[in-house]
Chain A
Amino acid sequence: MALIDLGKREIHCKIVYYGPGRCGKTTNLIYIHHAMTPKARGKMVTIDTKGDRTLFFDLLPLHLGSVRDFDIRIQLYTVPGQIMYEATRKLVLKGVDGIVFVADPLLVRRQRNKDSLAGLSNNLAELGVKLAEIPIVLQYNKRDLTESEIPTLGVSELSSDLNSELQAPEFTATATLGEGVFESLRAISKLTVHQVAEKNRLLD
C-alpha cells in the first residue's frame, strides 16, 4: 500500500524481490546498497539464518529523486525463498506495490521457479491482489553460469516457462557482478511509481 504524504510531498512505495531459494534476491539488494551513495539509500536491514539464507526479509530504503514535486521513496524487500517459509513470504507481501521476480537458470531449479511464481500468485490473491494487475518485472539471473558446465536454461525457455501469460518486461542479470541489477530496479520503480500516481491522479 503506497503512502502518499501531501504535506511532505512524498510518495512511499514497497517493492518486493520474490523468487525461489538461492536465486539471488539478497545479492541484488547487496549490490544496490554498495553501488548507491549513502545519501540515496538508508541502512540495509538483514535478518539472516545461519549462513546466507534469508530468514525473514531484507530491507533497503532508497531515495530515488523526484517526480514532479513529489519525493520518491522506495523500500526494497526480499522474501525468504526456502519452501518452508510460505507464511513469511505472505507477510512480507503485505502492502506491496511492485515485484521483481528473480528466476534461477539452473536446470535443476526449473520447477522451483514455476512453483515460486504460482506461490506468488496465490499469496497475492489472498491479499486481494491479482498478479496480472500489479507492476512486475522478471529477472533471469546468474547468466554467468551459462558459460560454465552446469546445465542451465536459456532465456527463451525461462520466458516461456514464466512469462508467456504475464508478458512482463524481462531482464537478464548477473547479480553478483551487478549486471542487469539497476536495469531491473529502474524498470520496476518506473512502473510502480507510475501506477501509484495514476491511480491517485497525482500527475494530472
Chain B
Amino acid sequence: MASFILTPKKVNAVHELIDDKLIRAGVKKVMIIDEAGNIITECGHDPAITDPTALAALTAANFGATAQIARLIGEEDFTLLFHKGENSSMYFLRLDEELIMLSIFSDEVSLGLIRCRADELLTPVKNILKGSDNGIN
C-alpha cells in the first residue's frame, strides 16, 4: 500500500490556510486525518481533547460506517457530517477518498460559516497535501 509523505513545506502551507479561514474565525481545533485513522496534521487547541489519536481513529471509522449507511439508501457517500453537542460541535468534511477534515467549535461560531469556510479550503488543502513534492529523491 502506498505511503503518505508529509513534508514541512506541505504542513506549513496547510496550517496557514486553516489558521486564516477557520482558527481565526473562532474554531477551536481542526484536524486532517486519513482513512487509516492517522492524524495528518492538526491546528488550534482545545483543552477538552486529551486523546487525539482515539479521536482520529474513531472519526475514520465513523466516516467509513456512514459511507456504508449511505449505500444502503442508494447514495455513494455522505460528504459531510455534523455532530451537535452542548458546548462543542464537530463538522466533518471529506476532502477526497483518503482525507477527512474535522473542525471542533463552540456554539459562538455559526455552522453556516464553518460550512462556507471548509468548502473554500477543500480544493487548496487537498492539492497541497496530494501535491507531487514529497521531499524524497
Listed in ascending order, the chain A residues whose CB lies under 8 Å from chain B are 1-7, 12, 14, 42-43, 45, 56-57, 59, 61, 75, 77, 87-88, 91-92, 94-97, 127-129, 134, 196, 199-202
Contact A1 B36 (CB under 8 A): yes
Q: Which residues of B contact A75 (CB under 8 A)?
A: 36-38, 53, 57
Residues of B41-65 whose CB lies within 8 A of A: 51, 53-54, 57-58, 60-61, 64-65
Given contacts A5-B6, A129-B1, contact A42 B51 (CB under 8 A): yes
26 contacts between A and B (CB under 8 A): A1-B35, A1-B38, A2-B1, A3-B3, A6-B135, A6-B136, A12-B38, A14-B38, A43-B54, A45-B58, A59-B37, A59-B53, A75-B36, A75-B53, A75-B57, A91-B61, A94-B35, A95-B34, A95-B36, A95-B37, A95-B38, A128-B1, A199-B2, A199-B3, A200-B3, A202-B136
Contact A95 B57 (CB under 8 A): no
Query: How many residue pairs at the A-B interface have CB separations less than 8 Å?
Result: 95
Which residue of the partner chain, among A6, A56, A127, A200, contacts B61 with CB atoms under 8 Å? A56
Given contacts A12-B38, A43-B51, contact A95 B1 (CB under 8 A): yes
Q: Roughly how many angstroms separate A128 CA and B68 CA in the complex, as a whole number?
A: 18
Contact B35 A7 (CB under 8 A): no
Which 10 A/B pairs are nearest by Cβ-Cβ distance? A95-B36, A7-B8, A91-B64, A2-B3, A3-B38, A45-B54, A5-B6, A94-B35, A3-B4, A59-B57
Q: Which residues of B contact A87 (CB under 8 A)?
A: 68
**Secondary structure of the B contact surface, majority rule:** mixed
User: Nearest chain A CB to B101's CB is how many angstroms away?
Assistant: 16
Contact A2 B136 (CB under 8 A): no
Contacts A3-B40, A96-B1, A199-B3 known; 10 new A-B pairs at CB < 8 A:
A1-B3, A3-B34, A6-B6, A6-B135, A7-B6, A56-B61, A75-B36, A95-B36, A199-B2, A200-B136
Is residue B17 within 8 Å, beta carbon to beta carbon, of the partner chain? no
Q: Roughly how many angstroms separate A105 CA and B126 CA in the complex, as a whole number?
A: 47
Q: Roughly how many angstroms separate A1 CA and B38 CA in the complex, as a whole number?
A: 9
Q: Roughly how many angstroms separate A91 CA and B35 CA in the complex, as a whole number?
A: 9
Interface size of B in residues (CB-CB distance below 8 Å): 28
Contact A94 B60 (CB under 8 A): yes
Is residue B107 within 8 Å, beta carbon to beta carbon, of the partner chain? no
User: Nearest chain A CB to B63's CB is how many angstroms away?
Assistant: 9
User: Nearest chain A CB to B28's CB is how many angstroms away?
Assistant: 21
Contact B57 A45 (CB under 8 A): yes
Q: Which residues of B contact A1 (CB under 8 A)?
A: 1-4, 34-36, 38, 98
User: Nearest chain A CB to B66's CB is how many angstroms away?
Assistant: 11
Q: Roughly how many angstroms separate A127 CA and B36 CA in the complex, as a whole number?
A: 12
Closest to A97 in B: B1
Q: Which residues of A contact B4 (CB under 8 A)?
A: 1-4
Closest to B33 in A: A3
Which residue of the partner chain, among B6, B57, B58, B64, contacts A3 with CB atoms under 8 Å? B6
